Amino acid sequence: MTSPARRHFQRVSAVRAADDAGEAPMQGDAYELMLAALFEDYRRLKSTQSMERKAEIKREILPKYADYVDGVLEAGQGAQDDVLMRVMLWRIDAGDIAGALVIARYALAHDLNPPDQFERSTAAIIAEEVADQSLKLLDEESADALPLLKHLIDVEIMTRQADMHDQVRAKLFKALGYAQRTAGQLHEAQSSLERALALNSRVGVKKDLERLERDIKNASDSDTAS
């Protein structure tokens, strides 16, 4: 476990590095150290085939980057930062959507680019990755829909004006609709699923939308009868 003094040093070093970089790409000892750690962790993940195990490893390694991230977000002026962007994606994969969105707001505000192997825009990556993770979590019986719903609403607002493929935005509205349905917001869920279907006829919500429409009608009939 990293000592409080070490954590403080990492955050302060990141603050200085971000301040020194300004709008130029990140550089300096603090950044290079994190980049080296990132490279080693990336190699470890690449050698792991199980997606479940990959998520476990990400949850294990992410704390080592937390103080660096906090420092950059505190003092950053928009410098391109590959460590920051990779940590954002790892946080999503690890189920820490809230932590990822803290970085996402900064990344979108400063037009940061995603890691090299991604051909999609940062906004599209955030929308799709959060949607995928949310759909996965919603399939779990113990899922708490309300936090996921808040995150999905935040992502929809953050990426609303961004240009991306309709299929990606449809997936985001699908996840949003399912979270609204789980949270009991049936009319809102209907609207979101209709939007998803309009964007992509193959998004896979037709049967769920039909069931939702029946549930809304039955609830309306019940209220009328009472």
Kindly report the number of other CB atoms within 10 A of residue 199's CB atom: 18
> For residue range 87-129, what is the model confidence (pLDDT) as tens digits?
999 999 999 999 999 999 999 999 999 987 788 899 999 999 9
Low-confidence ranges of the chain (pLDDT < 70): 1-2, 141-142, 222-226
The pLDDT of residue 62 is: 97
CA pair distance 126, 108, nearest whole angstrom: 10
The pLDDT of residue 115 is: 81
The pLDDT of residue 222 is: 67
CB under 8 Å to 36, separation ≥6 — which residues? Answer: none
8 Å CB contact between 57 and 22: no
| Average pLDDT score, the chain | 92
